[in-house]
Structure 1
Amino acid sequence: MIPASATVVLAPSALPAVLPAAAWPALRSAEVVYAAADLPGPARAALDAKPAPEPSELVRQRNVVLVAATPDDPAAAALITAGARVIDTPVPELVRAAEVMDRLRSPGGCPWDAEQTHSSLRQYLVEETYELLDAIEEGDRAAMREELGDVLLQVLFHARVAAEDPADPFGIDVVAAELVDKLVSRHPHVFGTGETVHTAEHQQVRWEELKQSEKRRESIVDGVALGQPATALAGKLGHRTGRAGVPLDLFPGGTSEAEKLFRIAAAARRGGTDPEGELRAVAKRFALDVRTAEAAARADGVEPAMLEADGWRHYWPT
């Protein structure tokens, strides 16, 4: 066994520049600080650490600190087996998630993950978003945790694919950094000396004004995602144009069913109603009524497929 003063500090490759506070007393008092072979070069240089000697020599030294990326490094494993104290660096779960995604996408990872592109992943982003939306509407907390994770996976996946782009690569750190910059710049009343915002409505107006200024948009409908569901799109356009003072009588004035639907959805959003959410709620309630009527018919020995109009009216829940 070696003296208890021998210490192994684990600095995971995901956080090579981060060491726990508990490691610093050992680093300051150590006679020698060594870097294991698996420690990234920048971390080794920052610590001014010497390359670790052979394990057989290392275990005979006293009052040493070895900084390693993993406990599997031969030098780290030798010290740990000999009884050295281990100081670990906890890795946040978000960082671990990015590491897992990186491994799945890298050589030796998952063949399916390696083949995906931004285009092939689009359907999953849409599906996972709607599954999360359903969990929120149902108030299912367990499902929300799972579906939020699935949506996060899509963000990590797209960022990992983007990092491989030969012309314009960027990864999850750049995505996160731009998000932070946006949140700070859009909340000057919180992070700066902007005007005081007293209500959520005022903040929403200021958010749109700042966004318009930052992006230098030429049209009030610039930035509206045209690929969103039609009811939500009509509502968004109605809301955006309402802020600009576009009157309702300029909405599509035809008599087609599509034009009528547009006017209803756009006007509803101006009135403070989410047409997409409300319509989905009605549709889900209708689906439940169908199931209830079918169950009532089967209880009477009647197959729902045989029901005619009067039969449906008879079994329809009141």
Structure 2
Amino acid sequence: MVGKEFEKLIEIMAKLRSENGCDWDRAQTHESLKPYLIEEAYEVLNAIDNNDDDELKEELGDVLLQVVFHAQIATERGAFSISDVINTLSDKLIRRHPHVFGEAEGYSYARWEEIKAKEKGGKKRTSIGDVNHALPGLSLARRVQENAAGVGFDWIEIEDVWNKVEEEISELRTAKAQEEIEEELGDLLFAVVNLARFLNVDPESAVRKATEKFIMRFEKMEKAIEKDGKSIEDMNLEELDSYWNKIKEHEDVNEL
């Protein structure tokens, strides 16, 4: 059943890209589609955060569309087909899981990285592995820390991580030159990512939620100010803080 449905999807994509298809779809290239792939990936994360299965189903479909779209463009170029994409993925999954499909016993991070290095035709650069430097900063930091932890380079107790965060805050407070401030702030953020990892929190998701919460509260504050016949531009910080705290208090009451 899934095979037929997937074939139907491939046929639809091919028709959209055909001479009698959609002008917009026909005009797209690998380069022009790059922003959409990133956007759709974040839409999936939002659906997961919302715990909405219907939304997740739809957004996963949008990500799949991007995969099929790129594969169709590659097919037209004579580079590879969607079948090649699927077969490459299947082979990689089997090859990278010898403890499931082979004779190896149990998962091993070191073995995983060795397999990846062999696939790329050489030795891995470091035990941290071949990380994707295009990741957002917080996600890149988390990934590097996870890889380092995989070879035993990690804090043992979470209290040590708390101490590291406090140490970095202290160093940032005493930083003078702009270059030093930037470096110390980076160290602090890196330490906070480590703390998030120990608390089993994804830092990228956490900061996005915090930002969305700020936006929601700010919009509520503006509406409350307008309702009182005032303008936010004419108010001082003390007055704004008063409205802000009322918004927070109202949220706390509703959560009880």
TM-score, length basis structure 2 = 0.73
CA distance in 2 between counterparts of 1:205 and 1:94 reads 36
* 1:210 positional shift: 3.7
Distance 1:305 1:205 in 2: 57
Relative to structure 1, is the Cα distance of residues 208 and 300 closer, same or farther in structure 2, using a 3 angstrom cutoff?
farther
Q: Which runs of 5+ in 1 are unaligned?
A: 1-88
- 2:16–2:25: 8 Å Cα contact kept in structure 1? yes
Contact 2:109 2:151 (8 Å CA) reproduced? no
State the 1:269 CA deviation: 5.6
Matched, 1:263 2:173: no
Change (3 A) 1:146 1:270: closer
1:95-134 to structure 2, matched below 5 A, reads 95-134=7-46
Matches of 2:2 and 2:149, distance apart in 1: 50
Classify 1:208/1:277 alpha carbon distance in 2 versus 1 (closer, same or farther; 3 Å).
farther
Contact persistence 1:188–1:194 (CA under 8 A): yes
Larger radius of gyration: 1
Relative to total residues, which structure has the larger strand share, 1 or 2?
1
Query: Residue 308 of structure 1 corresponds to which residue in structure 2?
Result: 236
Give RMSD over aligned pairs. Answer: 3.0
Tell me whether 1:156 sits opposite 2:156 in the alignment.
Answer: no
The equivalent of 1:224 in structure 2 is 131
RCO (CA 8 Å, sep 6+): is it higher in 1 or 2? 1
| 1:312–1:218 Cα change, 3 Å | same
Tell which deviates more after alignment, 142-151 or 280-289: 280-289
Aligned to 1:297: 225
Distance, in Å, in 1 between the alignment partners of 2:209 and 2:2 is 43
The equivalent residue for 1:211 is 116
Per the TM alignment, residue 171 of structure 1 is displaced from its structure 2 partner at its CA by 0.9
Deviation at 1:209, TM superposition (A): 4.9
**Sequence identity (%):** 37
Following superposition, the deviation at residue 175 of structure 1 comes to 0.4
**Equivalences for 1:120-199 in 2 at 5 Å?**
120-166=32-78, 169-195=79-105, 197=106
Q: Encode CA deviations 1:191-217: one digit per residue, 9 max, x unaligned.
A: 23321x3xxxx5666544543454442
Output the amino acid matched with 1:241. Answer: A
Deviation at 1:177, TM superposition (A): 0.5
One-letter amino acid of the structure 1 residue matched with residue 136 of structure 2: P
Amino acid at match of 2:133: L
Alpha carbons 2:225, 2:232 under 8 Å: kept:
yes
Deviations 1:94-114 (A, max 9, x none): 111111111111222222222
CA distance in structure 1 between the aligned counterparts of 2:27 and 2:42, rounded to whole angstroms: 24
| Residues 54-108 of structure 1, C-alpha deviations (whole Å, 9 max, x = no match) | xxxxxxxxxxxxxxxxxxxxxxxxxxxxxxxxxxx99621111111111111222
Residues 296 and 132 (structure 1 numbering): CA distance in 2 closer, same or farther, change over 3 Å?
same
CA distances 1:190-248 after superposition (whole Å, capped 9, x unpaired): 323321x3xxxx56665445434544422345532211212212222233234345578
Aligned residues: 221
More helix per residue: 2
Q: State the AA in 1 paired with 2:31.
A: S
Name the aligned partner's letter for residue 187 of structure 2.
Answer: K
Give 1:154 deviation, angstroms: 0.4
TM-score, normalised relative to structure 1: 0.60
Q: CA deviation at 1:132?
A: 1.5
Instruction: Write the mapping of 1:223-242 to structure 2, written as runs, cut at 5 A.
Output: 223-242=130-149
In structure 2, stretches of 5+ residues that fail to align are 156-163, 172-179, 250-256
Q: 1:98 to 1:226 in 2, by over 3 A?
A: same
